[in-house]
Structure 1
Amino acid sequence: MSIPAPHRDDAEAVAALQALVRIPTVSRVNESETEWEQFELFIETLPGLFPLVHENLPFERVAGHSLLYRWKGRGDGAPAVLMAHYDVVPAEDEGWEHPPFSATLTGDGAEQLMWGRGTLDDKGSMAAILEAVETRLAEGFVPENDVLLSFGHNEETAGDGARAIVDLLESRGIRPALVSDEGGAVVEGIFPGVDTPIAVIGVAEKGIMTLTLTVDQDGGHASTPPATTATVRLAKAIVALNRRPFRAAFSATNLEMIRTIGAHARQPLRFAFTQLWLTKPLLLGLFRRLSDETAAMTRTTQAVTRLSGSMADNALAERAVATVNIRIAIGSSVAEAVEHVRAAVADPLVRIDVQSPSEPSPVSPTDGRAWQLMRDAIEHSHPGTIVTPYVMMAASDARHFTRISDNVYRFSPFEMSTEERGTLHAKNERMHVATYLRGIEFYRSLIGSL
């Protein structure tokens, strides 16, 4: 439910997010390069921005810099977990309209923007959660059962902060009734024939894995190359893999999403999207061609992201390596993906090594109380929005929580245009201020029902 209540001034809420965006909590794959003093500064800054949270909710540090807060409820039922992460990917000033850690405000009214790394991913969610809790505490609200706030410090790299929190909760016998993390958003223009805004809630996420393709062979001077160098053999393997995409298919969640959104489409598209017993093969072809995003919904994807070869311009590579990022579709597996790559490459001189494999997550239900709480909160903060499940294609900290909860949902309560979604992990990341304030309302409404 939603309780009309005195908020902190909107400007105060915006200033709190600005303060957090200005702290460059950049996580690095090589953690020895991480500036941990910025993470310490971030943690030290929180009590001044959200005083009631820190007066009333004890918190503990986990795995060094991840944070776990407990808001004690009236009862002893299963708690809810509200999640976010506060680390961000690197950002250089070059190419940004405003410096990435300046949290600059531009424009006025509904068009006012906040620029900065982390506004969308994912300090906006963390600040909105804390702001919602702060204002609920000011009202004297007490949740029915415990509410846990879980804020990871290295989601963008190792993700072991969130994993350590799950280990801790599991050791205490805690199985949350609801877990809410970043994921889908409120979007428009992604579905043919549908003009209504759509709130997409991730009920599952693809698996993720890194493969390396390696060719080792004798080097030598580049002036006398053999017919097939290590780099040529590797290039042939990459081309062979690219020519053999994974099989496309709709998962049960894909089909539910199509039916849900399609019911709001204009005719004749409404018929096509709701009579799937007849149109599914045609729609599968449409999704493969419509956009890269819809194509990725239908299959395991593979992308070569890094290449390495010789250390000198005039020396043949003794080792050539390609890194392949694999996102494994629901219904498939790590083993199936590896076998597909081996069959596609089909060269015994190309070694295939598996790194950091993670299976696709279980699928959370789209009925029951936890799902309805998410729907109700969205319908309060974003009235008139179509709410649908989907499979999240990126990885999140939420995947760790599927070990201890059956109801794990991935939703960022912010409107994001196609252009704005394109700034995630890229230059000019930004958020409309009005969008941020509606995000706070989503969490206030969700908290009010817990």
Structure 2
Amino acid sequence: MTDADDEALERFRTLLRIPTISHNAVEETDWAAFDRFLDRLPELYPALHETLELERHGRTQLYRWRGREEGAATVLMAHYDVVPATDEGWTHAPFSAELTGAGEHRLLWGRGAIDDKGALVAILEAVEALVREGFQPTHDVYLSFGHDEETVGSGAQAIAATLAGRGIRPAMVLDEGGAVVERIFPGVTAPIAVVGVSEKGITSVRLTVEQSGGHASTPPRMTATVRLARAITRLNARPFPARLTETNLRMVETLGAHATGPLRAVFIRARRLQPLLHAVFGRLSDETRAIVRTTTAVTQLRGSLAANALPETAEAIVNTRIAVGSSVAETLDHLRRAIRDDAVRVEAVDASEPSPVSPSAGPHWDRLAAAIGAVHPRAIVTPYIMLGASDSRHFTGICDAVYRFTPFELSAGQRGALHARDEHIHVATWLRGIAVYTHLLRAS
């Protein structure tokens, strides 16, 4: 590592140590930590703050880097809020930003190392360096840094509404999402850069059973909790049907061309062998199962307030990720038919539809693919449907080319640590992420 790399890493560690934790209960959020984070940015990135125009929307930041010419802008997005974490169960405390190892095996530990301060700070590093060398983009570049992506995304919504009100339609938007991964696709040994061209809808569905309460010593045959449990069991036994969207097919065809082994013949004939592919994807892993269907996961349960009282209301929250090509209405219809019980009320909470599909060919896709290829020349760049949700969904109304890609090589273990204990990133891959952003900005 160079001295400049060491300095960049120390800036990253400084920001990683600030516990900008988002809570669904807003009153529990320590907003002073968020303010400390924002106050450090001008100190750490002075050239950027002297050159770019900054406006605040609450605690979400919007920077404008004016281009040399008129033309559609590029928007780079990230967020600096993180999900909650305590020291319990972590190998290294979540806000200590500890370093371990050496060389390519050097690791940086901390909540937000990947999701999503890693990308945000990498963008800041790329812009700061380019400003210092006197670079100016051809067209405007906007940096949108959200403060509440992990909860309601109000900051990103405000930015998108502001740009729309000014008549600004960006040429391309890039937010967090896919990464450079390996061995996720049978028979493909080369690294794969999975770029999200859409994302599933996300809807919390509330299942509610209401009936008379009473003392637990004289329960009826069917309590509210038993009825609710039966509904959950029925739902779990009837998964949504598998479907391969055009994006799924293109991904399989792209990767299949690089595959070896017995499944190659299936992958390169994806359009003709879709029923067989449904079965293959359903058995490979939880991730591949989720790629081809709407998924449901019961995440919260609520019953009686006392151990010896029958519940008058039993409630479950089902986290639903709606496949592209489906809808909130279709999803609710499936749930009601699966449960088969009118006494169970099914209602959507905080519903959002799947995002429109951005092009996986053309100048904007090619610009992103070229930036990835400049740093990861062996990587196969492929479109995919992002399984999670990001702030970028709020920008699909003002931009036709919205992509979700975090330019880091991430192992299965690192992906599994997102929103979990021991989140960490290789220092070397974080530095390569800065290089990807730099290549993309030079072409903006």
* TM-score band, normalised by shorter chain: over 0.9
Give 1:313 deviation, angstroms. Answer: 1.0
Shift of the alpha carbon at 1:270? Answer: 2.3
Give the aligned partner of residue 160 of structure 1.
154
Quick one: distance in 1 between partners of 2:353 and 2:275?
27
Question: Structure 1 residues 102-111 or 275-284, which shifts more?
Answer: 275-284
Aligned 8 A contact 2:176 2:404 in 1: yes
CA drift at 1:132: 0.3
Question: Structure 1 CA distance, aligned partners of 2:342 and 2:293?
Answer: 26
Distance across 2 between alignment mates of 1:354 and 1:144: 45
Per the alignment, residue 382 of structure 1 pairs with: 376
Output the CA distance in 1 between the equivalents of 2:250 and 2:9.
37
SS of the residue 1:276 aligns to: coil
Mark the runs of 5 or more structure 2 residues left unpaired by the alignment: none
Counterpart residue number, 1:194 = 188
Q: In the TM superposition, what whole-angstrom CA distance separates every residue of 1:361-383 from its partner, at most 9, and x where no partner exists?
A: 00000111110011000001111
- Aligned counterpart, 1:183: 177
- Output one character per residue of 1:190-220: Cα deviation in whole Å (capped at 9) or x when no partner: 0011110000000000011111111111111
Question: 1:41-74, CA deviations, whole angstroms, 9 ceiling, x for partnerless residues?
Answer: 0000001111111111111111x10000000000
Deviation for aligned residue 1:271: 2.0
Question: What TM-score, normalized by structure 2, do the two folds share?
Answer: 0.99
Look up the equivalent residue of 2:165 and give its one-letter code: S
1:394 to 388, 399, 405: 388
Question: 1:117, 1:89 → 2: CA distance?
Answer: 8
- TM-superposed deviation, 1:278: 3.7
Q: Could you tell me how far apart the structure 2 residues matched to 1:93 and 1:228 are?
A: 42
Deviations 1:111-147, CA, capped at 9 Å, x for gaps: 0000000000000000000100011111111100000
Aligned partner of 2:102 among 108, 115, 121:
108
RMSD: 0.9
Number of paired residues?
Answer: 443
1:17 and 2:2 matched: no
Tell me which of 252, 264, 271 is aligned to 2:265: 271
CA distance in 2, matches of 1:261, 1:241: 33
Give the Cα separation in 1 of the matches to 2:369 and 2:145.
23
Determine the C-alpha separation between the residues in 2 that align with 1:433 and 1:86.
Answer: 19
Q: Superposed, which structure 2 residues align to 1:357-376 within 5 Å?
A: 357-376=351-370
Q: Give the SS at the match of 1:199.
A: strand
What is the CA–CA distance in structure 2 between the aligned matches of 1:316 and 1:397, rounded to whole Å?
Answer: 41
Q: Distance in 1 between matches of 2:300 and 2:27?
A: 22
Matches within 5 A, 1:81-100: 81-100=75-94
Q: Distance in 1 between matches of 2:333 and 2:189?
A: 41
Please say if residues 17 and 95 of structure 2, whose CA atoms lie closer than 8 Å, have aligned partners that are also in contact.
yes
Instruction: Please give the secondary structure, in 1, of the residue aligned with 2:20.
Output: coil
Counterpart check, 1:42 vs 2:13: no
Q: Distance in 2 between matches of 1:74 and 1:45?
A: 29
Shift of 1:8: 7.0
1:155 is paired with a residue whose SS is coil
Instruction: Return the alpha-carbon distance in structure 2 between the equivalents of residues 294 and 270 of structure 1.
Output: 16
- Within 5 Å, which residues of 2 pair with 1:138-153? 138-153=132-147
| Identity, % of aligned positions | 58
How is 1:4-403 mapped onto 2 (pairs within 5 angstroms)? 9-62=4-57, 64-403=58-397
Question: 1:136 is paired with a residue of what secondary structure?
Answer: helix
5+ unaligned residues in a row in structure 1: which ranges?
1-6
1:171-207 CA distance string (max 9 Å, x none): 0000000100000000001001111000000000001
Residue 425 of structure 2: which of 402, 422, 431 is its match?
431
Q: Any idea what SS the aligned residue of 1:82 has?
A: strand
